[in-house]
Amino acid sequence: MTFEYLKALHIIFVVTWFAGLFYIVRLFIYQTEAMERPESEGKILKPQLDLMASRLWYIITWPSAVLTLIFGTLVLTYRMEFLQLPFMHAKLGFVFLLYCYHGWCHKLFKELQAGRTRWTSTQLRIWNEASTLLLFAIVFLIVLKSTLSMVWGLAGLITLGVTLMLAIRLYKKFRNK
């Protein structure tokens, strides 16, 4: 029974972590666009967006990332045999990339809070899709429990990535009209 509770808590915190990751990059986009606005608008928008980003990052996203790691580790202690399976190695590799993504988002967060940006809103829109690709990879691996299926999954991820890039380009064209 303990295993099921730990697994449920792990899944809940994965969901809240991804919600935070998806929304924080949207806020990065809005912060970047606010800095491109006339000064009178930027002075109103930027502080509010900074506050929203700070609350999301420190109250939801970071705690969820930490709790995901804690409960995921506890789940693995109950199912140590999973560590011998190739699909779990691949899954943990993608999870590692997700924590790298989180770390990079933290760097972007700090820069934007300081009023600096190196990325355009379009680049941030593309960056936002990286977490989507990681989510797909992780979920398919854990549900299918097969690295053989990973070949099809990778083909699907590449197709999804190309589709997302095309959608971003179309959105940009539509938005600029």
Average pLDDT across each block of 10 residues of the chain; the chain has 177 residues. List them in order: 92 98 97 92 93 98 98 94 88 96 98 94 91 88 76 75 83 78
Nearest in space to 12 (alpha carbons), one of 61, 92, 68, 88: 68
What is the model's pTM?
Answer: 0.85
The predicted pLDDT at position 162 comes to 83
What was the pLDDT predicted at 176?
75
Per the CB < 8 A criterion, the answer to whether 98 and 134 are in contact is: yes
| Residues of each annotated binding site for heme | 10, 91
Q: Give pLDDT, residue 136.
A: 85
What's the confidence (pLDDT) of residue 147? Answer: 66
Residue 105 neighbours by CB under 8 Å, 6+ apart: 21, 24, 25, 28
User: What values do phi and psi take at 92, rounded to 5?
Assistant: -65, -30
Residue 166 is predicted with a pLDDT of 86
* Known binding residues: 10, 91
